[in-house]
């Protein structure tokens, strides 16, 4: 989700769900140690609970960055050991680290010693030819020796050679059963399932055994499907916000960001899918796409796009959620 789940997107998602735990895009240790820390780590207080997702392979660098994350107020520090992209592999982090469970263990141990907030791991069920159930169990067992008790598992192995990141999201098939067997064999661990979940019915089914689920691309392309998460999963009584109310909240947010020099296009690119699944959604997307890039600070682009947006009745809301 690099370049996707930035602070503007997370603020938008927080308008849809007050309770879901949000994750940053993966931020490398090098970007924090040698780059603009504020640009990478500052976030809006409304985003809580929010986790900082790190990429790296040097225990001391990860420890230093975990400390930065805690100092900036993040509620969790997550080490990404699941991203298969070439640029991540070239830096010796992401999914290629699944071939080095002892190094991942040492990284997590050092990070945990540096912070008091939870430190978690996001991984795959395997990589390349190291994809047997034994390989997966060994990785989890070795890393768990660090004291880490929460694993977010993308239920598809990663091919590090020969497949693009896009293909790695589709090939080979998802294997939820392998993750379920991990939970059965290590019931004391918190196991969060990731990969391919796109409806509340699917989520409900997997939560019969998993401790939680992570939703990535569906939450980005069809974000309003999260609108009843608080009620369905957390037992909240409050009614979900309508799409229109969310859009108006994002216009207010954009107005405030404009005063800080943030162009509205940096915000509107994240909300294109707000009306997905409803008649008229294409007109909403087109207006934002064509007008945000030439807008001046203070222009009411989102409010104006609402004049083309579909209605937001309760029946449409429920149809979108349960579809």
3-state class (DSSP) for residue 116: coil
Candidates 83, 96, 107, 123; catalytic one: 83
Strands (E), 150-189: 150-154
Q: In what helix (H) or strand (E) does residue 258 lie, and over which residues does it extend?
A: helix 243-258
- The size of the chain, in residues, is 323
Pick from 231, 232, 192, 241: nearest CA to 215: 192
Pick from 312, 259, 267: nearest CA to 291: 267
Percent composition of the chain: helix, strand, coil (DSSP 3-state, to 5)? 50, 10, 40
Active site residue 83: yes
∠ CA 91-93-94 to the nearest 5 degrees?
Answer: 130
Distance CA 312, CA 75 (A): 34
∠ CA 99-206-174 to the nearest 5 degrees?
Answer: 45
Helix axes 133-144, 176-185, angle to 10 degrees: 50
Q: In what helix (H) or strand (E) does residue 22 lie, and over which residues does it extend?
A: strand 22-23
**CA dihedral for 250, 1, 203, 44, sign (positive or negative):** negative
Distance CA 47, CA 35 (A): 23
**Cα distances (Å, whole numbers) of residue 251 to 40, 98, 102, 292, 303:** 23, 42, 48, 12, 6
Pick from 275, 303, 281: nearest CA to 291: 303
Q: Give catalytic residue positions.
A: 83
């Amino acid at each position: 989700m690099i370049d996707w789940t930035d602070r503007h997107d997370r603020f938008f998602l927080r308008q849809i769900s007050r309770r879901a735990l949000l994750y940053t895009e993966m931020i490398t240790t090098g970007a924090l140690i040698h780059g603009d820390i504020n640009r990478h780590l500052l976030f809006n207080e409304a985003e809580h609970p929010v986790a900082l997702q790190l990429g790296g392979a040097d225990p001391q660098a990860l420890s230093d960055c975990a400390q930065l994350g805690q100092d900036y107020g993040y509620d969790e520090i997550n080490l990404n050991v699941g991203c298969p992209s070439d640029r991540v592999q070239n830096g010796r982090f992401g999914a290629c680290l699944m071939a080095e469970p002892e190094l991942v263990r040492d990284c997590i141990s050092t990070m945990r010693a540096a912070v008091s907030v939870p430190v978690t791991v996001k991984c795959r069920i395997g990589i390349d030819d190291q994809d047997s159930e034994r390989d997966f169990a060994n990785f989890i067992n070795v890393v768990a020796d660090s004291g880490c008790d929460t694993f977010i598992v993308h239920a598809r192995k990663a091919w590090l050679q020969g497949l693009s990141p896009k293909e790695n999201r589709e090939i080979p098939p998802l294997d939820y059963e392998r993750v379920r067997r991990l939970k059965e064999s290590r019931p004391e661990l918190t196991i969060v399932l990731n990969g391919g979940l796109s409806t509340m019915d699917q989520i409900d089914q997997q939560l019969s055994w998993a401790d939680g689920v992570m939703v990535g691309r569906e939450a980005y392309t069809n974000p309003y499907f999260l609108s009843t998460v608080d009620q369905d999963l957390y037992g909240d009584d409050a009614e979900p916000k309508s799409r229109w109310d969310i859009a108006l909240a994002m216009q207010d947010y954009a107005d405030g960001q404009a005063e800080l020099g943030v162009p509205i296009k940096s915000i509107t690119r994240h909300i294109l899918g707000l009306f997905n699944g409803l008649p008229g959604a294409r007109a909403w997307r087109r207006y934002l796409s064509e007008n945000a890039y030439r807008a001046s600070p203070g222009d009411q682009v989102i409010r104006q796009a609402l004049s083309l947006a579909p209605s937001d009745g309760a029946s449409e809301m429920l149809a979108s959620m349960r579809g």
